[in-house]
């Protein structure tokens, strides 16, 4: 198993260049096509200096949008010039709608970790993307421009989401120097936890993955904090985890660990929902 196509969100933010460089490097490593994507939304008329925007204003704004997206296309292709197959999808739409819709074209979606609340045009919520894309999502912190998957932590929990995440991350896991499986469990569940860790570890071994540490831990701290401490101690480059959440009354609600990893992880995280 490998990735045949990667899709990266390329916005107008200051860290888009780093994220595109990371994606281009991954495309080269996996021999994958690389798709850049950006959605540029209209600014609602009630936000445009308190004035209603007429049809001429809309036409002018649309021309401006298309010119901006065309310029972003050129910049993206320049960053990905060493990738054999490059594609650009820039559309006048909200990114939060566009990226999950177009995700069908890729095996892995790459997005930034932070949503810029001041960017009303290009903004993309990474958590909502995890829940809506139907594809694994690699969430990249702002300061990171490469992903050497030397040491990977699998944040194990015996759920559908975690099983999918491990399967979806196999290309990273197979090239890693060491994969560590961590299960933060409750007291009196050690025997069950060990069996689960052994099962997933043996499954990975059958896929030629180098499995090192297999550990279950008890903690009074938040689970995500313990995962991040473990990843830091082990000098991990990537965390693989299930992405948990649902929509309620039109708002997206996230599981505690998913929310905290999205907010606080200093390393890349691969989520599957």
Taking CA atoms, 254 is separated from 58, 126, 195, 239, 246, in Å, by 36, 11, 28, 18, 7
Q: Is the model more confident about 197 or about 57?
A: 197
Confidence of residue 119 (pLDDT cuts 50, 70, 90): low
The pLDDT of residue 251 is above 80:
no
Distance between CA atoms of residues 176 and 5, nearest Å: 20
Q: Is the model more confident about 215 or about 103?
A: 103
Rounded mean pLDDT of 190-209?
93
Note the pLDDT of residue 44.
59
Neighbours of 163 (CB within 10 A): 16
pLDDT > 90: percent of the chain: 68
198 in Cβ contact with 234 (< 8 Å): no
Q: Is the model more confident about 248 or about 203?
A: 203
**pTM to 2 decimals?**
0.91
Q: Give the mean pLDDT of the chain.
A: 89
Q: Which residues pair with 272 in a beta bridge?
A: 242
Distance between CA atoms of residues 151 and 180, nearest Å: 8
Note the pLDDT of residue 51.
43
The pLDDT of residue 160 is above 50:
yes
Confidence of residue 146 (pLDDT cuts 50, 70, 90): very high
Note the pLDDT of residue 218.
78
Note the pLDDT of residue 248.
61
Note the pLDDT of residue 122.
76
The pLDDT of residue 16 is above 60:
yes
């Amino acid at each position: 198993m490998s990735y045949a196509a990667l899709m990266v969100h390329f916005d107008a933010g200051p860290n888009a260049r780093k994220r595109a460089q990371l994606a281009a490097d991954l495309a080269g490593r996996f021999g994958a096509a690389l798709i850049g994507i950006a959605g540029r939304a209209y600014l609602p008329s009630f936000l445009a200096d308190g004035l209603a925007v007429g049809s001429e204003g809309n036409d002018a704004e649309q021309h401006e949008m298309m010119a901006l997206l065309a310029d972003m296309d050129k910049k993206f292709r320049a960053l990905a010039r060493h990738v054999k197959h490059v594609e650009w999808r820039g559309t006048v739409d909200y990114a939060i709608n566009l990226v999950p819709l177009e995700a069908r074209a890729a095996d892995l979606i790459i997005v930034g970790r932070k949503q810029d609340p001041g960017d009303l045009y290009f903004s993309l919520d990474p958590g909502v993307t995890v829940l809506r894309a139907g594809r694994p999502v690699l969430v990249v912190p702002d300061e990171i421009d490469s992903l050497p998957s030397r040491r990977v932590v699998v944040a194990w929990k015996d759920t559908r989401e975690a099983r999918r995440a491990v399967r979806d991350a196999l290309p990273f896991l197979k090239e890693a120097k060491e994969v560590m499986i961590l299960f933060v469990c409750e007291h009196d569940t050690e025997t069950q936890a060990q069996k689960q860790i052994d099962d997933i570890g043996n499954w990975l071994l059958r896929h030629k993955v180098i499995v090192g540490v297999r550990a279950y831990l008890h903690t009074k701290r938040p689970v995500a904090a313990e995962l991040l401490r473990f990843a830091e101690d082990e000098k991990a480059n990537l965390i693989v985890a299930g992405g948990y959440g649902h929509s309620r009354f039109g708002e997206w609600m996230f599981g505690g660990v998913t929310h905290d990893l999205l907010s606080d992880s200093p390393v890349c995280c691969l989520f599957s929902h």
